[in-house]
Amino acid sequence: MTATVDGALRLEDAGASAIVLPSLFEEQLAGERVSSRASRTNNYEACAERYLRHVSRLKHRVHVPVIASLNGTTAEGWLEYARFIERAGADALELNFYHVATDPLEDAWRVERRVIDIVAVLKESIAIPIAVKLSPFYSSLPHLASQLDAIGADGLVLFNRFYQSDIDPEGRSFSRHLELSTSADLLLRLHSIAILARSIRSSLAVSGGVHEAVDALKAIIAGAAAVQLVSALLRHGPEHLTRVKSGVEQWAEEHGVQSLHELRGTIGLPSTAEASAFERENYVRSLHSWRGITALSNT
């Protein structure tokens, strides 16, 4: 939707507070660079120029912040393309990290260290704000988040979605299709936002599972400073954003809430010393909340 000026304008008219552009993938640019050398054309530069022109056009047409998105694979690529995006005039940059650990010799520390090192270099190299979009599968998300916070990450976006391939038994092959999120995807985000909200200074955004006004309210109460909508708008069109915002405003009015700042982070985890015990208790109580547990316990 943000890949065209008309799509971005529809989102702004519907009440979007900011526009996040499609990710610029390092593989795409690297592939076009190889193609350019082989065919003596200039596909790589043409692709980069298209992204630059799109950012520039949006900056002249919309009045909300334009946030570019970068999905890199190498340290050199992250730096080169981040500088390019800054020169293009983006208001901020979302670093869309997507790394699936497949090497049994690479430990968890090295996986996290790669993210921290890249963000540290980019914070020293570009001036625009940086948001870091993470997956939920790091061994210690609070530790990684605190390290990113310490080196100056302006925001954390939770979470990137992993799109796993299915298996086709008949063809003995992989089957790929993208399923849009539902509100059920929100619970993991709420849990992690609530853990981080009281321990880091970086702004927190929820990505994935926000479809209705109640979803946005839950995210804010957990501690989110922003929510991102994609699947809901793909299903219902940009105008659905207006309905979500109106629903939030109506709820706030009915409950005497003057500002969303009053709600943000009102439900979070206790202090670090008590958080582990709280998590354990929550786990046990959730398990025993199933209606059949009493009958099973009495047999």
Dist. CA 201–CA 17, nearest whole Å:
21
Q: Which of 88-92, 177-181, 290-294 has the highest mean pLDDT?
A: 88-92
pLDDT tens sequence across 8-42: 999 999 999 999 999 988 877 765 554 444 444 44
289 and 224: one domain? no
On the CB side of 191, CA atoms within 13 Å amount to 11
204 and 298: one domain? no
194 and 293: one domain? no
249 and 152: one domain? yes
Q: Which domain holds residue 285?
A: 269-299
157 and 59: one domain? yes
298 and 244: one domain? no
Count: domains in the chain: 2
Q: What CATH number is attached to the domain comprising 203?
A: 3.20.20.70
Q: Which amino acid is at 179?
A: E
Biggest CA-to-CA distance, the chain = 77
pLDDT tens sequence across 205-262: 999 999 999 999 999 999 999 999 999 999 999 999 999 999 999 999 999 999 999 9
Considering the entire predicted model, what is its pTM?
Answer: 0.88
179 and 64: one domain? yes
Q: Please, are residues 193 and 206 in contact by the beta-carbon 8 Å criterion? A: yes
222 and 276: one domain? no
282 and 154: one domain? no
Region 119-146 average pLDDT: 96
Q: 205: which 2 tokens? A: 């955004």
262 and 273: one domain? no
- Whether residue 149 is predicted with pLDDT greater than 60 in this model: the reply is yes
259 and 297: one domain? no
Rg (CA), the chain: 21
Dist. CA 143–CA 131, nearest whole Å:
17
Burial class (CB in 10 A: 0-12, 13-18, 19+), 9: middle
243 and 174: one domain? yes
